[in-house]
């Protein structure tokens, strides 16, 4: 795999973003309309790609003007690119984006059964702040996690 580049997504990435989520359960996937809406909303979509391998990972950050908490809405890595540090690099880029936008913390929800994602977030200093029962359409619970972006003085 050649050196990945993390950059903002564009409308030209929509087809690749839809394809990237093909490994997700159908009820958790974003369709083209959702990607178009996210690209024009109070969101930041960062993608990780390489000239040779194409788009390998993506993350969606949501922002509300008056809130100091950014929300990591989605983080996806192509199955063939997992275990190569892309999620960790993309997560760090999302945190930098949130800091630049004035957020003091990042929150996310993750399926309670997704132990690999939970380990990723815990290794990046996220902590569980709540369990949300029946959060997902299939009835599975979510863990709400949060990380402070403020540095200790």
Q: What is the DSSP string of 70-95?
A: EEEEEEEE-GGGTTSSHHHHHHHHHH
CA 75 to chain centre: 3
pLDDT in tens, 72-124: 999 999 988 888 999 999 999 999 999 999 999 999 999 999 999 999 999 99
Mean pLDDT of the chain: 90
End-to-end CA distance of the chain: 40
Percent helix, strand, coil in the chain, to 5, is: 35, 35, 35
Q: Is the pLDDT confidence value at 16 over 60?
A: yes
pLDDT at 2: 61
Residue 130 exposure: Cα atoms within 13 Å on the Cβ side = 8
- Tokens in use for 151? 């540095």
The architecture in CATH of the region 5-148 reads 3-Layer(aba) Sandwich (3.40)
pLDDT at 50: 84
Instruction: Give me the residue spans of the domains in the chain.
Output: 5-148
Task: Flag whether the pTM goes above 0.95.
Answer: no
Rg (CA), the chain: 15
Higher pLDDT, 11 or 26: 11
pLDDT at 124: 96
Q: Are 120 and 109 in contact (CB under 8 A)?
A: no
Backbone angles phi, psi at 141, to 5 degrees: -75, 160
pLDDT in tens, 49-69: 888 888 999 999 999 877 799
């Amino acid at each position: 795999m050649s050196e990945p580049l993390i950059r903002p997504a564009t409308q030209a990435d929509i087809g690749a973003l839809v394809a990237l989520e093909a490994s997700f359960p159908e009820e958790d996937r974003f369709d083209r309309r959702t990607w178009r809406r996210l690209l024009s909303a109070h969101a930041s979509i960062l993608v990780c790609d390489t000239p040779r391998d194409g788009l390998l990972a993506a993350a969606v950050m949501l922002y509300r003007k008056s809130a100091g908490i950014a929300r990591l809405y989605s983080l996806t890595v192509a199955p063939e690119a997992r275990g190569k540090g892309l999620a960790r690099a993309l997560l760090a880029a999302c945190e930098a984006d949130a800091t630049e936008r004035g957020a003091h913390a990042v929150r996310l929800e993750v399926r309670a059964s997704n132990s690999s994602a939970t380990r990723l977030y815990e290794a990046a200093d996220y902590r569980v702040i709540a369990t949300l029962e029946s959060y997902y359409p299939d009835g599975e619970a979510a863990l709400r996690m949060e990380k402070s972006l403020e540095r200790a003085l």
